[in-house]
Amino acid sequence: MSLLVVGSVALDSVETPFGQKEEVLGGSATFFSTAASFFNPVHLVAVVGEDFPEAHVQFLQSKGIGLEGLTREKGRTFRWKGKYGYQLNEAQTLDTQLNVFQSFAPKLPEAYRDAPFVFLGNIHPELQSQVLDQVKRPQLVAADTMNFWIQGTREALLKTLQRVNLLFVNDAEARQLSGEHNIVKAARAILTMGPTRIVIKRGEYGALLFEREHIFACPAMPLEEVFDPTGAGDTFAGGFMGTLATAAQPDRDALRRAMVMGSVMASFTVERFSLDRLRDLTRPEIHQRFSEFKRLTHFEELGSLKG
């Protein structure tokens, strides 16, 4: 079933201890849609400027991503510049230029309004609500947010969360949104705000899925080489939602598979800068790493303990 994503397409400049790249393809919706496209048809709604390279458009088209909702406006494309230290846990933002993204007002093509799965990328919660006003009867609505919106637009965010089934946040955002330091208590508090499920992304420590009566923990893949964590969380969400959209029912088993596949896709993204690893990624490689995850987490029942 088709998957709709609304978010940012950007040009990123990134510096890590292992190299530096200038104005490479980035943006939350870009990473999400590329990852999801390996599993399911994706429709993208975003805005770029006059300077957005045609080669990037051709790349997205090569992944089968629907671009009817990608508009090109007069002005410059959204730009972000960041730097990572050796721990690679969090980027230091050096520069943000919203440009055409500042006046982004999502307008869904008519063909996109029937999408059964909707992902609201990390944009202003009022824009997220505007998207939900335009879709018809989605089976599942997922959303992402960040500390900036939690702090500055809390009331609008809370209103949007009442219309969301599944929320993606990292552990710091979960604590900030809930006011709880303990991550389990934080998740329980957020589940009272509207979403019936929450995924808490924990970077190199994996991710946690919370439902009211169910918790599932998924590790991150131990990797020898990590070059650039930019977009890893969005790639995780893309792998998760793309996998979930293929399931007959988003039941507990489907959610667990989606969690693992999200971690699989994120593990590929960090191996190179930008989306370079996803450009030549193959389905056999994805299936092989999924099998590696199963071996990584499998164990036999210990039986009774003696003594």
For the domain that residue 264 is a member of, what is the CATH number? Answer: 3.40.1190.20
The CA distance from 87 to 100, in Å, is: 33
Do 106 and 127 meet the contact criterion of CB atoms below 8 Å apart?
A: yes
- Percentage of the chain modeled with pLDDT above 70: 99
- Percentage of the chain modeled with pLDDT above 90: 86
| Number of domains the chain contains | 1
Bridge partner residues of 93 (DSSP)? 82
| 304, pLDDT greater than 90 | no
- pLDDT reported for residue 266: 96
| 305, pLDDT greater than 70 | no
| 183, pLDDT greater than 80 | yes
pLDDT-based confidence at residue 297 (cuts at 50, 70, 90): confident
Is 121 among the domain residues?
yes
- pLDDT reported for residue 258: 97
Strands 117-120 and 207-211, bridge-based pairing: unpaired
- pLDDT reported for residue 33: 98
Is 86 among the domain residues?
yes
Q: Which residue has the higher pLDDT, 222 or 9?
A: 9
192 Cβ contact partners less than 8 Å away, ≥ 6 residues apart: none
pLDDT-based confidence at residue 249 (cuts at 50, 70, 90): confident
Is 246 among the domain residues?
yes
Helices (H) and strands (E) in the chain, counts: 11, 13
76: containing domain: 3-297
Tell me: the pLDDT tens digits for 86-125? 877 778 899 999 999 999 999 999 999 999 999 999 999 9
- pLDDT reported for residue 298: 84
Residue with tokens 């998957």: 3
Q: Which residue has the higher pLDDT, 225 or 199?
A: 199
| Chain mean pLDDT for the chain | 94
- pLDDT reported for residue 86: 82
- pLDDT reported for residue 300: 78
C-alpha closest to that of 7 among 110, 131, 96, 172: 131
Q: Which two tokens stand for residue 11?
A: 């040009």
pLDDT-based confidence at residue 307 (cuts at 50, 70, 90): low
C-alpha closest to that of 82 among 224, 215, 232, 220: 232
- pLDDT reported for residue 167: 98
Among 29-43, 116-130, 175-189, 217-231, where is mean pLDDT lowest?
Answer: 217-231
Is 306 among the domain residues?
no
258 Cβ contact partners less than 8 Å away, ≥ 6 residues apart: 239, 240, 241, 243, 244, 247
Element (H, E) at 45: strand 42-48
Is 165 among the domain residues?
yes
Cβ atoms within 10 Å, residue 95: 9
- pLDDT reported for residue 259: 96
Cβ atoms within 10 Å, residue 103: 10
Is 302 among the domain residues?
no
Is 303 among the domain residues?
no
Is 307 among the domain residues?
no
User: Half-sphere exposure of residue 212, counting CA atoms within 13 Å on the CB side?
Assistant: 7
Tell me: the pLDDT tens digits for 18-50? 899 999 999 999 999 999 999 999 999 999 999
